[in-house]
Amino acid sequence: MSNPLFDALFGQHIGKTTPFLHLADGSTVSHEEFLQTAGRYANALNQLGLLPGDRVAVQVDKSPQALAIYGACVQAGMVFLPLNTAYTPPEISYFLEDSGAKLFLCQSLLKDKLTGIANQAGAILKTLDANGTGTFADLAHTASAEFATADRDGEDLAALLYTSGTTGRSKGAMLSQNNLISNARTLVDVWKFSAKDVLLHALPIFHTHGLFVASNVSLVAGGSMIFLNRFDLDTVIENLPRATTMMGVPTFYTRLLDDPRFDANLSEHMRLFISGSAPLLAETHTAFHSRTGHTILERYGMTETNMNTSNPYEGERRAGTVGKPLPGIELRITDLETGNVLQANEIGMIEVRGKNVFKGYWQMPKKTAEELRADGFFISGDLGRIDSDGYVHIVGRNKDMIISGGYNIYPKEIELLLDQQQNVLESAIIGIPHPDFGETVVGILVAKGGATLDLPKISEALSKSLARFKHPKKLIIISELPRNAMGKVQKNILRSRYERELSEGIKNRVAK
């Protein structure tokens, strides 16, 4: 039997009793213990009638058991579909129905709210909690830890991750075994990971960064992870002395810098700090180096491709850039109108090609054809340039995507909800710089003639339908939206108008 992804991630760890996961309470989970849990979960998946290729949707808190579900899906040949724990029932409903998920795992406390949604989508609903209990855990408890690994091809789907779409509908990015294997192996090589590394892991595992970068890299390298359920400043500082490497979003690093306990002595043993998922401000880059002597390594990736570029492990890590294309990955800048390849320092569309590039969007052949060229280049939607030394600079996003705290937010989804609110004529969502989260969401509203808008009521309505990270941090009422001659809202004017005053206010609040 052949299963390339299982062999790459887990094959070398069978029977190993060395620690794989170091937990916040001081306990550890060995490689073999982790694989035994994954084996029991794989048997439980089979008992529920799932077959290779079936989608398993998971919205549970981060835990060793949650990661073991991923391992079980790999071993059983099923397609892993992780969902942000902040998603609301209406959002979950779309993901289950669109993916055709056969099984949906959620937290016990949300079972009553989600049972009807799962039933409507035709998905089996089971529960799994962070303490290892739940109806799925009960089923797996009596199952064998031995599981015959499912035979899979490298081009078979391994995961389905939803990302924002230009119409407001989320798109399911189809990631193959080869996509994940190639990227993990490349990152292990360029970032010099080995079995000696202990990665401080405080990222969520429903996201590419925490799952396919951090976890896969550790597994392929044979290292271990300090597996924290979330970023808590005190816990991270307490555990840093046990780590050799850390991956995080800019928020992690700004919060460390805000604490006087974080200094050169606390980080002197560290080998590498990596940042991604949102732009790292040059001032954070400089302040971190001044405080610790370490230079943060910034890289660039996305759901559809995992990692595309990286600043060098050895060599100059340039603030404000995301480094150079990774080995085996081609990156070009093209003209937005013609698609022609541009020269150095010319701004255009970032396109990438390589084994890391996804297979397409789930059940969206038209959208796949629009964003995957016939020659294999993926049109990223990001605007950038390549300088004369080959470093890639991200200058904006062609689709008005907002990235806040590492999460993608598409304005259209929020605008559609705002436009439905009482007395709202129209709306526009923009992102403005935030020193902690990279960007934050601001809503611009136009009221119907002579009407008054109840902003607290509008905010409350949004909270019932949107994950918290999508909520506008401020709602502003104006008389009309600026438009060009074609009637298109000019969001660049709105950003310019409100960026300075709102950003200053945000910086002052964060500083306090």
Residue 278 pLDDT exceeds 70: yes
Residue 153 pLDDT exceeds 80: yes
Give the model's pLDDT for residue 512: 44
- E strands in 213-347: 224-227, 245-248, 272-275, 297-302, 306-310, 324-325, 330-334
Kindly report the length of the chain.
512
Give the model's pLDDT for residue 25: 92
Residue 309 lies inside a defined structural domain of this protein: no
* Tally of CA atoms within 13 A in the half-sphere of 236 that contains its CB: 24
Residue 466 lies inside a defined structural domain of this protein: yes
Mention every residue, 6+ apart, whose C-beta is less than 8 A from residue 508.
none
CATH number at residue 437: 3.30.300.30
CATH number at residue 53: 3.40.50.12780
CA separation for the pair 364, 353 (Å, rounded): 20
Give the model's pLDDT for residue 418: 93
Nearest to 213 by CA among 243, 245, 252, 166: 245
Of 134, 152, 170, which residue is a domain's last?
152
Residue 334 lies inside a defined structural domain of this protein: no
Give the model's pLDDT for residue 52: 98
For residues 140 and 1, the model is more confident at 140
- What integer best gives the mean pLDDT of the chain? 92
Instruction: Return the CA Rg of the chain.
Output: 23
311: left (phi over 0), alpha (psi -120 to 50) or beta: beta
- The tokens for 322 are 């995301």
Mention every residue, 6+ apart, whose C-beta is less than 8 A from residue 351.
331, 332, 333, 334, 373, 377, 378, 379, 380
Of 108, 123, 152, which residue is a domain's last?
152
CA separation for the pair 220, 42 (Å, rounded): 21
Mention every residue, 6+ apart, whose C-beta is less than 8 A from residue 24.
228, 229, 235, 239
Residue 148 pLDDT exceeds 80: yes
Q: Domain limits at 89?
A: 4-152
Residue 504 pLDDT exceeds 60: no
CA separation for the pair 467, 338 (Å, rounded): 37
Mention every residue, 6+ apart, whose C-beta is less than 8 A from residue 65.
37, 128, 130, 132, 137
Residue 410 pLDDT exceeds 80: no
Which pLDDT tens digit goes with each residue over 157-194? Answer: 999 999 854 445 789 999 999 999 999 999 999 999 99
Mean pLDDT of 466-493: 83
Give the model's pLDDT for residue 164: 58
Lowest model confidence (mean pLDDT) among 55-59, 214-218, 274-278: 274-278
Give the model's pLDDT for residue 165: 45
Mention every residue, 6+ apart, whose C-beta is less than 8 A from residue 444.
427, 428, 429, 430, 476, 478, 481, 494, 498
Lowest model confidence (mean pLDDT) among 107-121, 227-241, 292-306, 459-473: 459-473
Mean pLDDT of 123-136: 97
Q: Do the beta carbons of residue 436 and residue 255 sit within 8 Å? A: yes
Give the model's pLDDT for residue 178: 98
Structural element, H or E, at residue 125:
strand 124-127
Give the model's pLDDT for residue 120: 97
Residue 397 lies inside a defined structural domain of this protein: no
CA separation for the pair 115, 126 (Å, rounded): 9
Q: What burial letters (b/e) apply to 474-495, b meaning 16+ CB within 10 Å?
A: bbbeeeebeeeeeeebebeebb
CA 440 to chain centre: 17
Mean pLDDT of 222-226: 98
Mean pLDDT of 364-390: 94
Q: Which 3-state string (H, E, C) describes 148-205? A: CCCCCCCCCEEEEEEECCCCCCCEEEEEEHHHHHHHHHHHHHHCCCCCCCEEEECCCC
For residues 505 and 486, the model is more confident at 505
Give the model's pLDDT for residue 151: 97
For residues 66 and 436, the model is more confident at 66
Residue 54 pLDDT exceeds 90: yes
Residue 419 pLDDT exceeds 60: yes
Q: What is the tally of structural domains in the chain?
A: 2
Residue 484 pLDDT exceeds 70: no
Mention every residue, 6+ apart, whose C-beta is less than 8 A from residue 222.
12, 13, 194, 195
Of 152, 174, 191, which residue is a domain's last?
152
Mean pLDDT of 249-253: 89
Nearest to 304 by CA among 206, 186, 212, 174: 174
Lowest model confidence (mean pLDDT) among 162-166, 304-308, 433-437: 162-166
Residue 33 lies inside a defined structural domain of this protein: yes
Residue 483 lies inside a defined structural domain of this protein: yes
Strands 224-227 and 19-23: parallel
Lowest model confidence (mean pLDDT) among 245-249, 296-300, 449-453: 449-453
Q: Do the beta carbons of residue 4 and residue 154 sit within 8 Å? A: yes
What percent of the chain has pLDDT above 90? Answer: 79
Mention every residue, 6+ apart, whose C-beta is less than 8 A from residue 504.
none
Mean pLDDT of 260-271: 95
* Tally of CA atoms within 13 A in the half-sphere of 22 that contains its CB: 21
Mean pLDDT of 358-387: 95
Amino acid letter at 188? V
CA separation for the pair 474, 443 (Å, rounded): 6
What pTM value is reported for the model? 0.84
Q: Do the beta carbons of residue 425 and residue 265 sit within 8 Å? A: no
Give the model's pLDDT for residue 406: 84
**Rounded to 5°, angle at Cα 186 from 180 and 191:** 125
Mean pLDDT of 97-101: 98
Residue 429 lies inside a defined structural domain of this protein: yes
Mention every residue, 6+ apart, whose C-beta is less than 8 A from residue 213.
183, 184, 187, 247, 276, 301, 306, 307
Mean pLDDT of 346-351: 93
Give the model's pLDDT for residue 497: 87
Residue 502 pLDDT exceeds 60: yes
Residue 486 pLDDT exceeds 50: no
Nearest to 64 by CA among 52, 56, 72: 72
Mean pLDDT of 289-311: 96
Residue 251 lies inside a defined structural domain of this protein: no
Mention every residue, 6+ apart, whose C-beta is less than 8 A from residue 353.
329, 330, 375, 376, 377, 378
Q: Do the beta carbons of residue 357 and residue 343 sit within 8 Å? A: no
